[in-house]
Amino acid sequence: MFDDLRELYQEVILDHSKHPRNFRHPDDANHEAHGYNPLCGDTLNVYLKMGHNGLIEDAAFEGKGCAISLASASMMTEIITGKTETEAKVLFDGFQKLVKGEEATIDAGDDTERLMVLAGVKEFPMRVKCATLAWHAMSSAMDGEEEASTE
């Protein structure tokens, strides 16, 4: 059973990396940040359209990276769209703990199980920064910072 689940998770990661959702530069983005992972060379730009009420109306990204980095960015843009800035930051905190193997409570509603796909990254500490790169860039974009660090 565990091998079947691992295979399914790998398929989801590969699907999101080969066919990333929201891979574009929206013209109406009003927040953006560039993220770079010096360990592997992954580089992403995250674009957000934030409403006046703090709601993320649109999220997208562009860049190059490994399968984990692209899959995480793809899933993140789908999950945070429609969330408030506060909700997105709480998700980032929980996601970061999840992939680091720390005790984590993550409540992304119906999307919680989707984020669990990347929980296996905790077995490969060098890949944690790949999984969190887009999330760091998203957080930096919301904070008005143009650059994001995975540190």
d(CA 38, CA 129): 10
Residue of higher predicted confidence among 64 and 107: 64
What pLDDT is stored for residue 11 in this prediction?
A: 84
Where is 144: in which H helix or E strand?
none
Is the per-residue pLDDT at 63 higher than 60? yes
Taking only the tens place, the pLDDT of each residue in 76-127 is 999 999 999 999 999 999 899 888 988 767 777 777 777 888 888 888 888 9
CATH of residue 29: 3.90.1010.10
Domain around 127: 2-148
Confidence class of residue 2 from pLDDT cuts 50, 70 and 90?
A: low
What pLDDT is stored for residue 5 in this prediction?
A: 55
- For residue 120, the tally of other CB atoms under 10 A from its CB is 17
Please provide the DSSP assignment of 48-66 as one string.
EEE-TTSBEEEEEEEEE--
What pLDDT is stored for residue 3 in this prediction?
A: 60
Among 25, 26, 9, residue whose Cα is nearest residue 71: 9
Name the percent of the chain lying above pLDDT 90.
Answer: 65
Region class of 63: left (phi > 0), else alpha (psi between -120 and 50), else beta: left
Taking only the tens place, the pLDDT of each residue in 13-54 is 889 999 999 999 999 999 999 999 998 899 999 999 999 899
What pLDDT is stored for residue 1 in this prediction?
A: 43
Rounded mean pLDDT of 131-150?
Answer: 94
Contact between 100 and 150 (Cβ < 8 Å):
no
Number of separate domains in the chain: 1
Match 């790998």 to its residue by tokens. Answer: 10
Prediction pTM value: 0.91
Is the per-residue pLDDT at 144 higher than 50? yes
Among 95, 83, 111, 92, residue whose Cα is nearest residue 12: 111
Contact between 13 and 68 (Cβ < 8 Å):
yes
Rounded to the nearest 5 degrees, what angle is found at the Cα of 46, between the Cα atoms of 42 and 50?
165
